[in-house]
């Protein structure tokens, strides 16, 4: 079963490469279309914030359009993620409750009219957090307090994750450190026209700068390939789609890994030229293989909602929340609250 699953993923990865090569050739042969007058802010740069899948390359949500030549974006993001898991089986004993603050500094630069490059440097802080009260209040008002929250109601922080009696991951309350740095590139194949969407190829490389002993990094490089598309579908409405393949290398805590897939589908409503609302559906498969731990083996399904607000001509403020849908059960982080500020330096 495992061999068949890995083979299928490898076949899927080869198909993705073939499709991307075809798209690249199409971009070289096709005429450049005029850009639509409807200009949005793009999808939120969501990623899989689940703490043990966050250590891999995150192909965050992105637009298909690239920065104009010689323009520079500087983006600062703060994302607070609350996680709570319990699994006690013959193989896995895991009890986890903590929050992770991920501070990301992201630079991107318009290299040419069709190419942009970027660099992201994250810093991670793991602690007891501040979202517990809001999460439990919302749960009590809706479907009721979750069984995990009930069992850990009097516990502010716990990090115990063992497999066959051996610790898989370690993390202390108050741990802070740099994460894995990512290098990102994007090539715009097509500009948006009356019928054609904007389309771009994406490339990414993650360097192992984070400490794998504290679950701040995987300890190995990752590669990523993806496609991004966007299209104005009606007055003031824009649709965004991202599909990505992640290819980790090496192993994590002695666990075998394989290719992973992610997709982001978002719709943006432009309330005004300076304000918009965005809703997204995100899916992430897991790079782990047959570990016996639900939160490692299973994928993550989430929804995100928030707003974009242009404070100044070159200053953008974004706020979004990510709620787990947990279609596959016991794998997603509970909730993430994020705020971002982006400043654009023009040539």
- Average pLDDT of the residues in 178-190: 97
- Exposed/middle/buried for residue 224 (C-beta within 10 Å: 0-12, 13-18, 19+): buried
Q: How far is CA 137 from the centre of its chain?
A: 27
Q: Write out the residue range of the structural domain in which residue 324 sits.
A: 2-345
pLDDT at 13 over 70: no
Distance, in Å, from the CA atom of 280 to the CA atom of 79, rounded to the nearest integer, reads 17
Instruction: Give the pLDDT score at 346.
Output: 79
Q: Cα 162–249–118 angle (5° rounding)?
A: 110
Instruction: Give the pLDDT score at 240.
Output: 98
| Digit-coded pLDDT (tens) for 276-317 | 999 999 999 999 999 999 999 999 999 999 999 999 999 999
Instruction: Give the pLDDT score at 38.
Output: 66
Structural domains of the chain, count:
1
Mean pLDDT rounded to a whole number for the chain = 89
Rounded to two decimals, the pTM is: 0.87
pLDDT at 9 over 50: no
Q: Which of 44, 121, 135, 154 is nearest to 83 (CA)?
A: 135
Residue carrying the six token digits 């309350």: 173
pLDDT-derived band at 37 (thresholds 50, 70, 90) equals low
Pairing assessment for the beta strands 181-190 and 166-167 based on DSSP bridges: unpaired
Instruction: Give the pLDDT score at 11.
Output: 54
- Average pLDDT of the residues in 54-65: 96
Residue 157 φ/ψ, nearest 5 degrees = -150, 130
Residue carrying the six token digits 């190995």: 220
CATH number for the domain that contains residue 212? 2.40.160.40
pLDDT-derived band at 8 (thresholds 50, 70, 90) equals very low
pLDDT at 17 over 60: no
DSSP element (H, E) containing 97: strand 92-110
Task: Tell me if 226 sits within 8 A of 245, measured CB to CB.
Answer: yes
Provide the b/e sequence for 73-98 (b: ≥16 CB within 10 Å). bebebebbbbbbbbbeeeebbbbbbb
pLDDT-derived band at 7 (thresholds 50, 70, 90) equals very low
pLDDT at 263 over 90: yes
The Cα-based distances of 91 to 1, 81, 119, 172, 288 in angstroms read 19, 27, 39, 23, 16
Who has greater pLDDT, 145 or 319? 319
- Average pLDDT of the residues in 238-242: 98
Range of weakest confidence among 29-43, 89-103, 163-177, 297-311: 29-43
pLDDT at 20 over 90: no
Instruction: Give the pLDDT score at 3.
Output: 40
Structure tokens at 23: 């798209």
pLDDT-derived band at 146 (thresholds 50, 70, 90) equals confident
Provide, rounded to the nearest whole percent, the portion of the chain with pLDDT above 70: 88
């Amino acid at each position: 079963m495992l061999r068949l699953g890995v083979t299928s993923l490898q076949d899927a990865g080869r198909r993705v490469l073939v499709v991307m090569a075809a798209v690249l050739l199409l971009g070289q042969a096709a005429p450049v279309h005029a850009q639509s007058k409807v200009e949005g802010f793009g999808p939120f740069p969501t990623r899989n914030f689940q703490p043990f899948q966050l250590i891999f390359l995150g192909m965050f949500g992105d637009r298909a359009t690239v920065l104009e030549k010689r323009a520079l974006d500087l983006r600062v993001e703060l994302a607070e993620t609350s996680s709570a898991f319990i699994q006690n089986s013959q193989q896995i004993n895991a009890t986890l409750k903590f929050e992770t603050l991920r501070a990301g500094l992201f630079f991107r630069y318009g290299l040419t009219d069709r190419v942009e490059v970027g660099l992201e440097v994250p810093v991670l802080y793991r602690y007891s957090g501040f979202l517990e009260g809001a999460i439990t209040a919302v749960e009590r008002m809706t479907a009721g307090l979750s069984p995990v929250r009930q069992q850990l109601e009097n516990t502010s922080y716990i990090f115990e994750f063992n497999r066959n009696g051996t610790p898989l991951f370690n993390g202390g309350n108050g741990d802070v450190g740099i994460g894995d740095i990512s290098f990102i590139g994007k090539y715009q194949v097509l500009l948006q026209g009356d019928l054609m969407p904007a389309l771009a190829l994406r490339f990414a490389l993650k360097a192992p700068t984070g400490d794998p002993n504290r679950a701040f990094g995987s300890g190995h490089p990752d590669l990523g390939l993806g496609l991004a598309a966007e299209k104005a579908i009606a007055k003031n409405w824009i649709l965004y789609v991202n599909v990505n393949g992640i290819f980790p290398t090496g192993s994590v805590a002695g666990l075998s890994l394989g290719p992973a897939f992610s997709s982001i589908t978002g719709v943006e409503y432009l309330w005004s030229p300076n304000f918009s609302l965005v809703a997204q559906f995100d899916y992430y498969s897991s790079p782990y293989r047959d570990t016996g731990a639900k939160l490692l083996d299973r994928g993550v399904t989430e929804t995100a909602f928030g707003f974009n607000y242009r404070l100044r001509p070159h200053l953008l403020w974004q706020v979004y929340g990510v709620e787990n849908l947990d279609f596959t059960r016991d794998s997603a982080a509970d909730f993430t609250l994020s705020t971002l500020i982006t400043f654009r330096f023009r040539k």
